[in-house]
Amino acid sequence: MTHRERLLATLRFEKTDRGADYEFGAWEQTITRWREEGLPAECEGVWGAINQHFHTDDTEYGPGPWLQHGLLPGFEYKVVEEKGDHLVVQDGDGATAEMIRPELGASIPRYLRYAIETRADWEAVRDERLNPETPGRVPDNLEELCKLTWDATYPTGIGGISLYGWLRNWMGVEGISIALYEDPAWVEEMMEHLTVLCLHNLAKIAGKARIDLSHWWEDMCFNKGPLVSPKHFRQLMVPRYKRITDFLRAECGCEFNMLDCDGNIHELVEPWIEGGINVMFPVEVAHTDPFRIRREFGKRAPMRGCVDKRALAAGPEAIDAELAHLKPLYEEGGLIPHTDHLVPPDVSWANYQHYRQRKCEMIGKV
């Protein structure tokens, strides 16, 4: 089977020659540790090192008509102030945050200000960085890239948007939470603008490209459930998802829409499916039960991920037990198994190699 045939058959719960082989990546500190323990130096990058070394299916992609729906231009990442072991930086989303110097370890930033705290801030970001007509939102060789999608042997993809996650990055959790209750019309205005911008871009490939999978990101759940009420979610977000997923299906034949969200997603799976989002990723098993998703939604919700990354730190026996636990779900189809987030630096290179060997045995990639 080609890479494209295999991925689509997997998501359709059909028989394949072997399982699709993807991974999620690892922390930068993990890659540094692994190089000291045997990972070849030429394998670089948080996302790329694993794929390069093990030649996962992610290495077998080609060009496609990827579009830019987000901030354009993004904010400049810069150091605003140096404070001993700490730095105050402006990140690519325009937030100002204090953090430990990267060379001293990873840390959770303390945010001091966000890009959008007032309606005036929003209007500036909207006009200066979210203008649908800004050059660069579509590639110059768009027509050529669209033609490649019809006969490609690799899956063809397109970027979706984020209705909550991007706003959360630009406003902060507290900021968007207060706005949802004090000024929901403003939040709806921002979500509508993002939706219209996305559809404006997608109109340029309508009928010209065959798209297999659109990629979305939200990160809108914590360990107990969603950061926005299901009521607001259904009112503000589901209809806008559906406008985009309906367009992609009608104009580009797009069958699958995959959304990346950590945490406990159980309350949102059903409305995501209603909105056309039908692949759940990475299914963080500390908080979300993939077996429950399968029981409740069956073939309506194929999944990626579902391997508890914590097992990799515990050693070979825990890794074997984790994969044995997941195997019955995998054998039903509709599952691409890999770690349920970036691999943390408490996982040794030896343990990761053991995981890879056992996973490849399970999916028939030998």
pLDDT (tens digit per residue) in 182-201: 999 999 999 999 999 999 99
Q: What's the confidence (pLDDT) of residue 104?
A: 81
- The HSE-up count of residue 300 (CA atoms within 13 Å, CB side) is 14
Torsional sign, CA 282, 286, 287, 292: positive
Cβ atoms of residues 273 and 297 within 8 Å = yes
Residues 6+ apart with CB under 8 A from 234: 271, 274
Task: Give me 301's structure tokens.
Answer: 């919700």
Domains of the chain: which residue ranges? 3-73+115-363, 76-114
Q: What's the confidence (pLDDT) of residue 342?
A: 96
Q: Helix (H) and strand (E) counts for the chain? A: 15, 12
pTM of the model: 0.95
Report the share of the chain in percent with pLDDT over 90.
97
* pLDDT above 90 (res 163): yes
How far apart, in whole angstroms, are the C-alpha atoms of residue 190 and residue 241?
14
pLDDT tens-digit readout, 199-236: 999 999 999 999 999 999 999 999 999 999 999 999 99
Residue 109: which region, alpha, beta or left (left: phi > 0; alpha: psi -120 to 50)? Answer: beta
Q: What's the confidence (pLDDT) of residue 160?
A: 93
Count CB-CB contacts under 10 A for residue 222.
Answer: 13
Q: What's the confidence (pLDDT) of residue 292?
A: 98
Q: What's the confidence (pLDDT) of residue 103?
A: 80
Bridge-partner residues for 79, per DSSP? Answer: 89
Average pLDDT over residues 67-75: 97
Nearest to residue 225, comparing CAs of 314, 288, 138?
288
Q: What's the confidence (pLDDT) of residue 200?
A: 98
> Can you spell out the DSSP letters for 87-146?
EEEE-TTS-EEEEE-GGG-----EEEE-S-SSHHHHHHHHHHH--TT-TTSS-TTHHHHH
Q: What average pLDDT is seen over the chain?
A: 97
Q: CATH classification of 3-73+115-363, choosing from 3.40.50.1240, 3.40.50.620, 3.20.20.210, 3.40.1390.30?
A: 3.20.20.210
R_g of the chain, CA atoms, integer Å? 21
CA dihedral 202, 206, 210, 215 (to 10 degrees): 20
More confident residue, 106 or 294: 294
Average pLDDT over residues 61-84: 96
Residues 6+ apart with CB under 8 A from 235: none
Q: What's the confidence (pLDDT) of residue 106?
A: 75
Q: What's the confidence (pLDDT) of residue 102?
A: 82
How far apart, in whole angstroms, are the C-alpha atoms of residue 197 and residue 215?
16
Average pLDDT over residues 30-35: 96
More confident residue, 255 or 107: 255
User: Using CB atoms within 10 A of its CB, is residue 173 exposed (0-12), middle (13-18) or buried (19+)?
Assistant: middle
* pLDDT above 90 (res 157): yes
Nearest to residue 29, comparing CAs of 19, 15, 39?
39
Average pLDDT over residues 300-316: 98
Q: What's the confidence (pLDDT) of residue 324?
A: 98
* pLDDT above 90 (res 105): no
